[in-house]
Structure 1
Amino acid sequence: MKKVLLLLANGFEIFEASVFVDVIGWNYIDGDKSTQLFTCGRTKEVNSTFNQKIIVDCTFDEVNIDNYDALAIPGGFIEYDFYNDAYNEQFLEIIREFNKKGKIIASICVAALPLGKSGVLKGRKGTTYNKRSGIMQKQLKDFGVEVINQPIVIDQNIITSWNPSTAMEVAFLLLERLTNKENKEAVRELMGY
């Protein structure tokens, strides 16, 4: 069984998290049945953008990276304190450990910024939120990332994307990397995409 850790910072975007839950879940039920998803946050209760609360499976302190095959990270809003958790040293260390072991890391929108801050994208290609005069892309560049102005960028084991419109495709790319292209296409068809 391939296990995905969904790493949630307070202020995460529900839509961006939900695509990972749905694609990995659909695969577990109707695909090749080889994937499961587990949630992780700094505390057991994590507050999303727009104040929806969820209870996670484990906290940063409890996570064992060796138990997972991939890391998925949704972006979030500064207005809901996303960067307080996303730039937390434990959050960044989880990212570093997944990268050190060559495991897949899939991020959506501004979730690329903690990847940049952690150092795993230094000297590599990536992208992030592309609206509002490219402010977030400049921040990513300041972390030493070669920012590519396209919807999805894959550099070795890391997937980054530029806004919520890319979310489903990032989740499908993660599934393809965990299984194979044929299985991903079968799940995509079942989901109506």
Structure 2
Amino acid sequence: MEILDERCIFIFCVEEERTMSRVCVFFADGLEEVEALTVVDLLRRAKVEVTMVSIHEKEEILGAHGIKIQADARMSQIDDYQEFDMVFLPGGGTGTDNLENSGKVKEVVSEFAKKGKKVAAICAAPRILGGLGLLEGRRCTSYPSVTDRLLGGVVTENAVETDGNITTSRGVGTAVDMGLELIRILCGEKRAEEIREEIVYRRM
């Protein structure tokens, strides 16, 4: 009986591991450190598997405010992006420029959107989604200076907008809101509320 119980526990753990959500976060030089790391931190608190992927041929990223960040992997080391459940694009002026200049980033984002998989972007990064035609008719938000590049989108000033499989947010000041929203999407309302209480954040 004890052996059977151990096997049952093992099978349960394997199944739990298989169903864990996986998120790819693209890191580029010049990104907004708070936006990127706040979302990564909150997702990991919720036990979401997050991979910080450098779009450069190096793993050390230099943020917009001189903070060095060690990515988990380089873009060229990821064999199959479709193993991820969501892709997230942090913002920052230069960071967004670098993401937008990467053909591979745009390819991955477009493929995710085409397949109905989850795509998220914050600050200036939603303009990349606009440029790819992914915001047509969708409620969306971004950093104020790039709202004119949310082509076809129904732009709001809300902290976070989720419309279908696309989630957007405004900037550094809404990074916690964005992280909690992504937890809600991937793990459910209950888990998002648990994390909100854990970090002593205002009610969503």
Please state if 1:187 is matched with 2:201: no
Work out the CA distance in 2 between the residues paired with 1:60 and 1:100: 21
Deviations 1:93-133 (A, max 9, x none): 12112212222222211111111122222343311112xxx
Q: 2:149 aligns with which of 126, 130, 139?
A: 139
1:159 equivalent in structure 2: 167
Counterpart among 30, 39, 42 of residue 23 in structure 1: 42
Deviations 1:49-87 (A, max 9, x none): 112222322233333222211112211123xx5403333
Whether the aligned pair in 2 keeps the contact of 1:87 and 1:117 (CA below 8 Å) is no
Compare 118-127 and 104-113 and name the one that shifted more.
118-127
Q: Hey, what's the Cα distance between the residues in 2 that align with 1:185 and 1:85?
A: 31
Kindly report which structure 2 residues correspond to 1:65-144, keeping only aligned pairs within 5 A, or say none: 65-78=81-94, 82-130=96-144, 135-140=145-150, 143-144=151-152
* Structure 2 counterpart of 1:37, from 33, 50, 53: 50
Unaligned runs of 5+ in 2: 1-19
By how many angstroms is 1:8 displaced? 1.6
| Higher CA-based Rg | 2
TM-score normalized by the length of structure 2: 0.80
User: Matched residue pairs, number?
Assistant: 179
Mapped to 1, the partners of 2:96 and 2:62 lie a distance apart of: 10
Identity of aligned residues (%): 30
Scaled by the length of structure 1, what TM-score is found?
Answer: 0.84
Contact 1:127–1:152 (Cα < 8 Å) also in 2:
yes
Once residues 39 and 113 of structure 1 are traced to their aligned partners in structure 2, the CA distance between those partners, rounded to angstroms, is: 21
Q: Deviation of residue 137 (structure 1)?
A: 0.9
1:7 match: 26
In the alignment, is the contact (CA less than 8 A) between 1:122 and 1:144 conserved in 2? yes
Greater relative contact order (Cα < 8 A, sep 6+): 1
Gap change, CA 1:120 and 1:59, over 3 Å in 2: farther
- Counterpart of 1:52, as a letter, is I
**3-state secondary structure, aligned to 2:46:** helix
State the Cα deviation string for residues 108-162 of structure 1 (Å, max 9, x = none).
11111111122222343311112xxxx311122xx33232233222210111112
